[in-house]
Structure 1
Amino acid sequence: MSDLSSAPPVQGEIFSLGAKKMTRERMRWYCDALETTARADGTFVVAEPTIHSDDDFARNQGLPGIIADGMLSTNYLSSLLYRRFGMDYLFSGELDTKFIRPVYEDEIVTAYGRVTEIDGDRVELELWCEVGPGKKCTVGRGSVRMGAAA
């Protein structure tokens, strides 16, 4: 796996940021941050109960407990692309994800990328997050145009 250096991408290269624990605090913070940002007046807002923030609400929906908002794993993938491709990702990157399995409290999430094609200055990527070996929770694709930030 790549060390996320500034080395040019190589077809077939697999890279990762390493594992992150999906804590209750991280999950709750994301819900509250969304509501606080939407209010846009500087007031901190505690979000209404959802499957992402309240165990009883989640259980009433048939889940064993709260689950992480899918955007958390998408954010991990976006961070992975930024760490690997830097400003080129910010200037020209694309990211498309699909959530295929819930992420539960205290699960360990690891984001991965694999270079699938290099066509001139365009790098195409397969992206995914796992909560254990082979247990994908988020899948997707991305692309970056190398040299876009120059």
Structure 2
Amino acid sequence: MELRPGDEIRSAPRVMTRERMRWYVDALPTVEANDGRVHFSVPTIHDDDEYAKGQGLPGIISDGMISTNWILDLLIRSFGPKVLEDPGALTTKFIAPVQEDVALTSVLKVEGVQELPDGRRRLSLAVWSEDGGGRKVTVGTAAVTL
């Protein structure tokens, strides 16, 4: 795949379901317990409507790491597992809450291409997740050496 600055790779939209949010919330206590059972988190803005409303939100919102994971998934699907090798990089910032049933699209945009002395190419990427209206909810950068 010959990518140039300005080229974009976009994922298919993925819906942020209540179930997806719940899996993420319960993952940490389950991993920490490491006893073969699912453990449930205390109420948070990511899994409890009443708690979220008590914090001034209209309802539960997604943990921002889910959209980061979806960006990483697009990187791996696009370039293979080598994106996890040195000198790869991914940095994100969560800039807007994602509510239940919102579809997100992950986007990789080539910002620069550097030819390396060993013949490989290093891509500098802008990355983000956006909702159906094009509103960015997670933004960041990535680098991939091919």
TM-score between both structures, scaled by the size of structure 1: 0.89
Matched-pair identity in % = 46
Q: 2:80 aligns with which of 76, 83, 86?
A: 86
TM-aligned CA deviation for residue 131 of structure 1 = 1.1
Q: In the alignment, residue 143 of structure 2 is paired with which amino acid?
A: S
Query: How many residues are treated as equivalent by the alignment?
Result: 140
Are 1:134 and 2:134 counterparts? Answer: yes
Cα drift, residue 53 of structure 1: 0.6
Deviations 1:95-119 (A, max 9, x none): 0000000000001111001010001
Question: Is 1:70 matched with 2:61?
Answer: no
SS of the counterpart of 2:11? strand
Structure 1 gaps of 5+ residues are 1-6
TM-score scaled to structure 2, two decimals? 0.92
Farther-moved stretch of structure 1 (7-16 vs 61-70): 7-16
- Letter of the structure 1 residue corresponding to residue 79 of structure 2: F
| Structure 1 residue runs of 4 or more that deviate by more than 3 Å after TM superposition | none
Corresponding position of 2:24 = 30
CA distance in 2, matches of 1:96, 1:41: 32
Name the counterpart of 2:110: 115
Q: Which structure 2 residue ranges, 5 or more long, are not aligned?
A: 116-120
Q: String of CA shifts for 1:77-128, please: whole Å, max 9, x gaps.
A: 0001101111220213210000000000001111001010001121100001
Number of the residue aligned with 2:118: none
CA distance in structure 1 between the aligned counterparts of 2:7 and 2:24, rounded to whole angstroms: 31
RMSD over aligned Cα, in angstroms? Answer: 1.0
